[in-house]
């Protein structure tokens, strides 16, 4: 893997982690159960993306 590719993956990992944190926070902030569920599902999807990126590095 090239340095450029590694850098791109590292940047994407940072973005995925940020999205996970944001959507978990949004889920905690809302009183609406449907919205909470959607936010948790989005966070889980980004967790999967993050894990796939980590697997590319390993």
Q: What is the pLDDT along the chain (58 residues), one digit of tens a residue?
A: 899 999 999 999 999 999 999 999 999 999 999 999 999 999 999 999 999 999 998 8
Does residue 5 form part of some domain?
no
> Rounded CA gap, 55 and 52, in Å?
5
Does residue 49 form part of some domain?
yes
User: What is the count of structural domains for the chain?
Assistant: 1
pLDDT at 58: 82
Does residue 33 form part of some domain?
yes
10, 53 Cβ separation under 8 angstroms? no
> Rounded CA gap, 12 and 23, in Å?
16
Domain with 47, as residue range(s), is 16-57
Instruction: Supply the DSSP string of the chain, one letter for each residue.
Output: --HHHHHHHHHHHHHHHHHHHHHHHHHHH---HHHHHHHHHHHHHHHHHHHHHHHHH-
Does residue 25 form part of some domain?
yes
């Amino acid at each position: 893997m090239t340095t450029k590719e590694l850098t791109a993956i590292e940047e994407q990992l940072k973005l995925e982690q940020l999205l996970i944190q944001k959507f978990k926070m949004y889920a905690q902030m809302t009183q609406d159960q449907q919205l909470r569920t959607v936010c948790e599902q989005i966070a889980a999807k980004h967790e999967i993306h993050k894990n796939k990126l980590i697997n590319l590095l390993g």
